[in-house]
Structure 1
Amino acid sequence: MFYETAEYYARLDARATKLDKTMAGTLRELIWDFVENPDFDRDEFLNLGCEPQKPKPSNPDHLDDVRGAGIGFISDAKPVVSQVEQLARDFGISKASLVRYILRKNLQ
Protein backbone atom coordinates (compact mmCIF):
# COMPACT_ATOMS: atom_id res chain seq x y z
CA MET A 1 0.00 0.00 0.00
CA PHE A 2 1.15 3.52 -0.65
CA TYR A 3 -0.29 6.96 -0.16
CA GLU A 4 -1.11 9.27 -3.04
CA THR A 5 -2.62 12.71 -3.44
CA ALA A 6 -6.24 13.21 -4.42
CA GLU A 7 -5.08 14.68 -7.75
CA TYR A 8 -3.29 11.52 -8.88
CA TYR A 9 -5.99 9.31 -7.40
CA ALA A 10 -8.50 11.16 -9.60
CA ARG A 11 -6.22 10.86 -12.64
CA LEU A 12 -5.92 7.11 -12.12
CA ASP A 13 -9.69 6.82 -11.71
CA ALA A 14 -10.28 8.80 -14.93
CA ARG A 15 -7.82 6.67 -16.89
CA ALA A 16 -9.34 3.45 -15.57
CA THR A 17 -12.84 4.66 -16.44
CA LYS A 18 -11.71 5.61 -19.95
CA LEU A 19 -10.22 2.14 -20.44
CA ASP A 20 -13.23 0.46 -18.79
CA LYS A 21 -10.98 -1.15 -16.19
CA THR A 22 -10.54 -1.00 -12.44
CA MET A 23 -8.01 1.35 -10.89
CA ALA A 24 -6.07 -1.63 -9.52
CA GLY A 25 -6.02 -3.27 -12.96
CA THR A 26 -4.87 -0.06 -14.60
CA LEU A 27 -2.13 0.44 -12.03
CA ARG A 28 -1.08 -3.20 -12.41
CA GLU A 29 -0.68 -2.71 -16.19
CA LEU A 30 1.41 0.44 -15.67
CA ILE A 31 3.63 -1.44 -13.25
CA TRP A 32 4.04 -4.47 -15.54
CA ASP A 33 4.99 -2.15 -18.42
CA PHE A 34 7.64 -0.54 -16.23
CA VAL A 35 8.97 -3.89 -14.94
CA GLU A 36 9.33 -5.16 -18.51
CA ASN A 37 11.18 -1.99 -19.57
CA PRO A 38 12.54 -0.15 -16.51
CA ASP A 39 13.24 3.49 -17.28
CA PHE A 40 14.14 5.25 -14.04
CA ASP A 41 15.36 8.85 -13.95
CA ARG A 42 16.32 10.13 -10.49
CA ASP A 43 15.82 13.79 -11.49
CA GLU A 44 12.35 13.03 -12.81
CA PHE A 45 11.68 11.01 -9.64
CA LEU A 46 12.45 14.08 -7.51
CA ASN A 47 10.65 16.53 -9.82
CA LEU A 48 7.47 14.43 -9.65
CA GLY A 49 7.62 14.54 -5.85
CA CYS A 50 8.03 10.80 -5.43
CA GLU A 51 10.36 10.89 -2.44
CA PRO A 52 9.13 8.90 0.55
CA GLN A 53 6.00 10.38 2.09
CA LYS A 54 4.73 9.47 5.50
CA PRO A 55 1.29 10.77 6.33
CA LYS A 56 1.15 12.69 9.57
CA PRO A 57 -2.22 13.15 11.27
CA SER A 58 -1.10 16.61 12.40
CA ASN A 59 -0.47 17.77 8.82
CA PRO A 60 -3.68 19.15 7.25
CA ASP A 61 -2.41 18.22 3.77
CA HIS A 62 -2.44 14.57 4.83
CA LEU A 63 -6.00 14.44 6.08
CA ASP A 64 -7.94 13.95 2.86
CA ASP A 65 -9.70 10.60 2.39
CA VAL A 66 -7.27 9.37 -0.26
CA ARG A 67 -4.17 9.74 1.86
CA GLY A 68 -5.98 8.39 4.88
CA ALA A 69 -7.07 5.25 3.06
CA GLY A 70 -4.02 4.70 0.88
CA ILE A 71 -4.14 2.78 -2.36
CA GLY A 72 -3.69 -0.98 -2.26
CA PHE A 73 -1.87 -2.32 -5.27
CA ILE A 74 -0.98 -5.60 -6.95
CA SER A 75 -1.42 -7.63 -3.77
CA ASP A 76 -2.61 -10.54 -5.90
CA ALA A 77 0.37 -10.44 -8.25
CA LYS A 78 3.31 -11.84 -6.29
CA PRO A 79 5.61 -12.23 -9.31
CA VAL A 80 5.47 -8.53 -10.09
CA VAL A 81 5.77 -7.55 -6.44
CA SER A 82 9.12 -9.33 -6.14
CA GLN A 83 10.33 -7.65 -9.33
CA VAL A 84 9.20 -4.23 -8.07
CA GLU A 85 11.00 -4.89 -4.78
CA GLN A 86 14.19 -5.82 -6.65
CA LEU A 87 14.03 -2.75 -8.91
CA ALA A 88 13.40 -0.51 -5.89
CA ARG A 89 16.48 -1.97 -4.18
CA ASP A 90 18.51 -1.47 -7.36
CA PHE A 91 17.42 2.18 -7.55
CA GLY A 92 17.93 2.72 -3.81
CA ILE A 93 14.33 3.71 -3.10
CA SER A 94 11.34 2.15 -1.36
CA LYS A 95 8.81 -0.03 -3.16
CA ALA A 96 6.05 2.52 -2.45
CA SER A 97 8.18 5.34 -3.86
CA LEU A 98 8.82 3.35 -7.03
CA VAL A 99 5.12 2.62 -7.49
CA ARG A 100 4.35 6.31 -6.89
CA TYR A 101 6.96 7.19 -9.56
CA ILE A 102 5.46 4.75 -12.08
CA LEU A 103 1.97 6.11 -11.43
CA ARG A 104 2.93 9.78 -11.65
CA LYS A 105 5.18 9.29 -14.68
CA ASN A 106 2.31 7.70 -16.59
CA LEU A 107 -0.40 10.10 -15.46
CA GLN A 108 1.26 13.47 -16.06
Structure 2
Amino acid sequence: METKQIKNLDNIKKLSALYFNTLKRANDEKEIYTAEIKFINYYELGCVIKNMLQLCILVIDQETHKISEKEKKQSINVGLILELVMQLFPLDEFEFLDEINDLVQTEI
Protein backbone atom coordinates (compact mmCIF):
# COMPACT_ATOMS: atom_id res chain seq x y z
CA MET A 1 0.00 0.00 0.00
CA GLU A 2 2.73 2.45 0.94
CA THR A 3 4.74 1.85 -2.25
CA LYS A 4 1.60 2.49 -4.32
CA GLN A 5 1.12 5.81 -2.54
CA ILE A 6 4.75 6.75 -3.19
CA LYS A 7 4.33 5.82 -6.84
CA ASN A 8 1.17 7.96 -7.06
CA LEU A 9 2.96 10.88 -5.43
CA ASP A 10 5.80 10.55 -7.93
CA ASN A 11 3.26 10.51 -10.76
CA ILE A 12 1.61 13.66 -9.40
CA LYS A 13 4.98 15.41 -9.17
CA LYS A 14 5.79 14.48 -12.79
CA LEU A 15 2.38 15.63 -13.98
CA SER A 16 2.63 18.92 -12.11
CA ALA A 17 6.02 19.59 -13.72
CA LEU A 18 4.42 19.02 -17.15
CA TYR A 19 1.23 20.99 -16.67
CA PHE A 20 1.71 23.81 -14.14
CA ASN A 21 3.09 26.40 -16.57
CA THR A 22 1.02 29.55 -16.19
CA LEU A 23 2.38 30.70 -12.84
CA LYS A 24 6.06 30.80 -11.97
CA ARG A 25 7.56 31.54 -8.56
CA ALA A 26 8.84 35.09 -8.26
CA ASN A 27 12.41 35.15 -6.96
CA ASP A 28 12.00 31.86 -5.08
CA GLU A 29 9.35 33.35 -2.78
CA LYS A 30 6.82 30.80 -1.57
CA GLU A 31 3.66 32.92 -1.80
CA ILE A 32 4.31 35.14 -4.83
CA TYR A 33 3.90 34.04 -8.44
CA THR A 34 4.17 35.75 -11.81
CA ALA A 35 2.40 35.12 -15.11
CA GLU A 36 4.09 35.92 -18.40
CA ILE A 37 2.19 37.98 -20.96
CA LYS A 38 3.67 38.25 -24.46
CA PHE A 39 3.50 41.37 -26.61
CA ILE A 40 4.92 42.06 -30.06
CA ASN A 41 6.19 45.51 -29.04
CA TYR A 42 5.60 48.49 -26.75
CA TYR A 43 2.88 49.83 -29.03
CA GLU A 44 0.80 46.68 -28.61
CA LEU A 45 1.29 46.86 -24.84
CA GLY A 46 0.15 50.48 -24.89
CA CYS A 47 -2.91 49.58 -26.98
CA VAL A 48 -3.89 46.82 -24.57
CA ILE A 49 -3.54 49.09 -21.53
CA LYS A 50 -5.49 51.90 -23.23
CA ASN A 51 -8.28 49.55 -24.35
CA MET A 52 -8.58 48.02 -20.90
CA LEU A 53 -8.79 51.46 -19.29
CA GLN A 54 -11.40 52.62 -21.82
CA LEU A 55 -13.43 49.47 -21.23
CA CYS A 56 -13.32 50.01 -17.46
CA ILE A 57 -14.37 53.66 -17.83
CA LEU A 58 -17.30 52.74 -20.07
CA VAL A 59 -18.44 50.00 -17.73
CA ILE A 60 -18.27 52.25 -14.67
CA ASP A 61 -20.20 55.16 -16.14
CA GLN A 62 -21.33 55.12 -19.75
CA GLU A 63 -22.93 58.59 -19.71
CA THR A 64 -20.44 60.82 -17.90
CA HIS A 65 -17.10 59.31 -18.79
CA LYS A 66 -14.28 61.71 -19.61
CA ILE A 67 -13.17 60.14 -22.89
CA SER A 68 -12.60 62.84 -25.52
CA GLU A 69 -14.90 63.17 -28.54
CA LYS A 70 -12.16 61.73 -30.77
CA GLU A 71 -11.80 58.67 -28.55
CA LYS A 72 -15.60 58.22 -28.31
CA LYS A 73 -15.65 57.53 -32.04
CA GLN A 74 -12.89 54.92 -31.76
CA SER A 75 -13.97 51.45 -30.88
CA ILE A 76 -12.43 49.41 -28.10
CA ASN A 77 -10.40 46.54 -29.52
CA VAL A 78 -12.13 43.73 -27.66
CA GLY A 79 -10.15 41.16 -29.66
CA LEU A 80 -6.88 42.51 -28.27
CA ILE A 81 -8.20 42.30 -24.72
CA LEU A 82 -9.50 38.76 -25.29
CA GLU A 83 -6.09 37.72 -26.66
CA LEU A 84 -4.55 38.90 -23.39
CA VAL A 85 -7.12 36.96 -21.39
CA MET A 86 -6.34 33.84 -23.46
CA GLN A 87 -2.67 34.17 -22.51
CA LEU A 88 -3.66 34.20 -18.85
CA PHE A 89 -6.07 31.27 -19.11
CA PRO A 90 -4.45 28.30 -17.34
CA LEU A 91 -5.48 25.53 -19.74
CA ASP A 92 -2.46 23.36 -18.86
CA GLU A 93 -3.47 23.48 -15.22
CA PHE A 94 -7.00 22.35 -16.08
CA GLU A 95 -5.56 19.47 -18.08
CA PHE A 96 -3.45 18.58 -15.03
CA LEU A 97 -6.58 18.51 -12.87
CA ASP A 98 -8.11 16.04 -15.34
CA GLU A 99 -5.04 13.83 -15.01
CA ILE A 100 -5.24 13.97 -11.20
CA ASN A 101 -8.94 13.17 -11.37
CA ASP A 102 -8.17 10.12 -13.54
CA LEU A 103 -5.58 8.97 -11.00
CA VAL A 104 -8.03 9.37 -8.14
CA GLN A 105 -10.79 7.57 -10.02
CA THR A 106 -8.54 4.55 -10.69
CA GLU A 107 -7.82 4.36 -6.96
CA ILE A 108 -11.50 3.95 -6.06
- TM over 0.5: same fold? no
Higher relative contact order (CA 8 A, sep 6+): 1
Q: Normalising by structure 2, what TM-score?
A: 0.21
**Radius of gyration: which is bigger?**
2
Larger strand share, 1 or 2: 2
Q: Normalising by structure 1, what TM-score?
A: 0.21
